[in-house]
Structure 1
Amino acid sequence: MSQTVFAPWSDPDQKPLIQFKGVTKRFGDFTAIDDLTQDIYEKEFFALLGPSGCGKTTMMRMLAGFEAPTKGQILIAGQDMARVPPNKRAVNMMFQSYALFPHLSVWDNIAFGLKREGKDKDTISARVDEMLRLTRLSKFAKRKPHQISGGQRQRVALARSLAKAPKLLLLDEPLGALDKKLRQDTQFELMDIQEKTGTTFVIVTHDQEEAMTVASRVAVMDEGQIIQVATPDQIYEAPNSVYVADFIGDVNIITGRATPQGDKIAIAWAEGQPDILGSTPKTITPGQEVHFAIRPEKVGISVDEPQEAGNKLQGKVLDIAYLGNISTYHVELPTGHVIKAQTANTRRISRRHITWEDMVWLSWTDTAGVVLDR
């Protein structure tokens, strides 16, 4: 049975749930969001990723209704949100601090919004129990927030946000307060809950690993603009700029001048060094400055000169970072450039044969890297 791929953004018949149309947001002289147009679809887990101050939280606050755009329109389910106050939007926001009521039990925290809406007792009870099951908190229902762990408090905040069945849930750095191991477990829980409820999630994070784990699509932001929106694998394998390549994961970037050679491109990058061969669907003019980006795991490292390699360079091992499952070698070329190569540690430690100061060969195929023109 072939599984259908979830990709409403590539189906022209799908209507977006959220539309940013030419949205600009200024605070005095500072432009936080700069003429931004972006669609987000129903049931998406959409991540806004970028460094502090890139505008991702401003985007989210405008969606929630806490900020109004200076220019442009925000539509949710086809309705212009300009005059719709936060409490009238089918949107809920989960804050980093969780903002739980310390004097109320877990059960009452989750029920709070439903009680305010004046729902009847049975409806509230059924919904809260459903949310407790969904977030695996049933046995903690009577406890107060201070009597449960940080990860459990995070799930209470999530259950409370989802209790009112919003169309859209906004998560602002939701896992920021958790330690690494718990964050990773919670990321999978979030994905599971998002899938079960079918709610559209928009998450703001500066943690690239988190965005790449949870999201159906990632929007990489910089200075109030979205630089690239794509699925996590596309962002990683086919970044559209040096900024995106560098922001996501580890990467080597070599800058040089390009000469087209048939369907390949030769990049002259240093005196006395062989050209780097790459391939790109883009039209590159002779002599144009380009940046060649290649991930360390795509660079082979060996003591002996490889015979069949599209690209090979010789250098000296400067540093080795041993990370348990992988080792990263920092290799200095005669030009002073340092290239990282990564290998999986499938063998026991005694079998590793490349060490500091060794002369080694780096090699990769002509399709292993990406040629970028910006």
Structure 2
Amino acid sequence: MQTVEFRPWADPAESPLIRFQNVTKRFGDFTAIDDLSLDIYEQEFFALLGPSGCGKTTMMRMLGGFETPTRGRIELAGQDIGPVPPHKRAVNMMFQSYALFPHLSVWDNIAFGLRRDRLPKDQIAARVADMLRLTRLEKFARRKPHQISGGQRQRVALARSLAKAPKLLLLDEPLGALDKKLRQETQFELMDIQETTGTTFVIVTHDQEEAMTVASRVAVMDEGRLVQVATPADIYECPNSVYVADFIGDVNILKGRARAIGHNRYHIDWSEGHPPLTATSEQPLAPDQDCHLAIRPEKVTISSQRPESADNAMQGTVLDIAYLGNLSTYFVQLPTGQIIKAQTANTRRISRRNLTWEDSVWLSWTATAGVVLAQ
């Protein structure tokens, strides 16, 4: 887990470990990466996040040396790595399939790359022992891959990738084959291992929860472009577009027009015959500018009575309720037909539901709860 102080991207004196400079990658007429520039810093756990076909795997393959940019430059520790073949880069790649050798023991799988480099036997033994200890696999050293669990195979692949002490480790959907509970446990193991080794990790994933859990920063991608690069907290709380707000987590989005009513404070006219919504925005908005207001469901309060002093309040009818154990999500239909989601924590093990289907309810939130988005 990164410490609060770890913010090299905010320090102008820090040099990036990886630098994409105006990189474009085309496959025939198809542009997979479109004039992309990005800096990734040493010891970062960096996530490339986006839907299938957004270009994240192509970026990773270019870092690994399996694809060459059509235009632009990629640097690793200040060196242009475009002409450097994959086996000569200080980069290792861990694939979703793990690609372990089934006939070799766990010990021999981890030692494989070190033997290829013709290291002395005592150095190989010491390094493999370090990796087994790091990944908590000491007692499985003599087993074959088919004799251990999926989570343990994942750790063997990780140990093998880290054995050669690469400057950069690329992880391509590394947890995709694991069940949800094991995936969550393994995410924290990955974070611990990354922090212990100090290796820079770049992970490709389409799983938002995974990216938000493990990464120091997340790059949200769409159609070969970076839409937003920020910390998980900023991506979630301060998305820069409707695309990012909608892609990360659950969100309500209301379309309207903004009118300034004070410093950084706006009225948003969202439906004729309904009172305007009140919101704050640090980004200035032009008079009558088209905009969207994004509000996370957990920031919406649901009640049977009209709240007395809420900045925003609207009435609706409970259409559906999703019980998720720790949370309940209420789907409330407004008179306009739009559905707003409100979330409440289930703090008691057994309690009667105060609100149920078809109840008339009030939804409310503060002026600062939503994010005004101009794009």
Cα RMSD, aligned residues only: 0.7
Distance 1:142 1:84 in 2: 36
Distance 1:146 1:18 in 2: 36
Q: Does 1:321 align with 2:322?
A: yes
Partner SS, residue 171 of structure 1: strand
Partner SS, residue 351 of structure 2: helix
Partner SS, residue 156 of structure 1: helix
Distance 1:256 1:349 in 2: 41
Task: Give a deviation string over 1:45-97, Cα, whole Å, max 9, x none.
Answer: 00000000000000000000000000000000000011100000000000011
The residue type paired with residue 312 of structure 2 is: N
Distance 2:290 2:49 in 1: 28
Equivalent residue, structure 1, for 2:353: 352
Equivalent residue, structure 1, for 2:280: 279
Q: Does 1:369 align with 2:370?
A: yes
| Closer, same or farther: CA 4–325 of 1 in aligned 2, 3 Å | closer
Distance 2:97 2:204 in 1: 14
Equivalent residue, structure 1, for 2:17: 17
Equivalent residue, structure 1, for 2:170: 170
| Closer, same or farther: CA 4–319 of 1 in aligned 2, 3 Å | closer
Equivalent residue, structure 1, for 2:337: 336
Partner SS, residue 271 of structure 1: coil
**Alignment length (residue pairs):** 372
Equivalent residue, structure 1, for 2:114: 114
Partner SS, residue 152 of structure 2: helix
Partner SS, residue 245 of structure 1: helix
Equivalent residue, structure 2, for 1:180: 180
Normalising by structure 1, we get a TM-score of 0.99
Moved segments of 4+, more than 4 Å: none
The residue type paired with residue 353 of structure 2 is: R
Normalising by structure 2, we get a TM-score of 0.98
Equivalent residue, structure 2, for 1:130: 130
Distance 2:164 2:81 in 1: 19
Task: Give a deviation string over 1:273-310, Cα, whole Å, max 9, x none.
Answer: 11111000111111110000000000000001100100
The residue type paired with residue 281 of structure 2 is: T
Task: Give a deviation string over 1:291-342, Cα, whole Å, max 9, x none.
Answer: 0000000000000110010000000000000111110000000000100000
Task: Give a deviation string over 1:138-161, Cα, whole Å, max 9, x none.
Answer: 000000000000100000000000
Deviation at 1:113, TM superposition (A): 0.2
Deviation at 1:4, TM superposition (A): 5.6
Distance 1:99 1:357 in 2: 53
Task: Kindly report which structure 2 residues correspond to 1:1-374, keeping only aligned pairs within 5 A, or say none.
Answer: 5-263=5-263, 264-374=265-375
Distance 1:347 1:58 in 2: 47
Distance 2:259 2:212 in 1: 34
Structure 2: unaligned runs, 5 residues or longer: none
The residue type paired with residue 215 of structure 1 is: A
The residue type paired with residue 171 of structure 1 is: L
Identity of aligned residues (%): 76
Distance 2:349 2:160 in 1: 48
Distance 2:359 2:66 in 1: 58
Greater alpha carbon shift after TM alignment, 163-172 vs 260-269: 260-269
Distance 1:295 1:274 in 2: 21
Partner SS, residue 350 of structure 1: coil
The residue type paired with residue 303 of structure 1 is: S
Deviation at 1:352, TM superposition (A): 1.8
Distance 1:18 1:209 in 2: 25
Distance 1:318 1:163 in 2: 55
Deviation at 1:349, TM superposition (A): 3.8
Distance 1:243 1:130 in 2: 43
Distance 1:348 1:62 in 2: 51
Partner SS, residue 321 of structure 2: strand
The residue type paired with residue 98 of structure 1 is: Y
Distance 2:24 2:333 in 1: 45
The residue type paired with residue 278 of structure 2 is: L
Deviation at 1:350, TM superposition (A): 3.2
Deviation at 1:351, TM superposition (A): 2.7
The residue type paired with residue 27 of structure 1 is: F
Structure 1: unaligned runs, 5 residues or longer: none
The residue type paired with residue 225 of structure 1 is: R
Distance 1:237 1:349 in 2: 32
Partner SS, residue 98 of structure 1: coil
Task: Give a deviation string over 1:113-142, Cα, whole Å, max 9, x none.
Answer: 000000000000000000000000000000
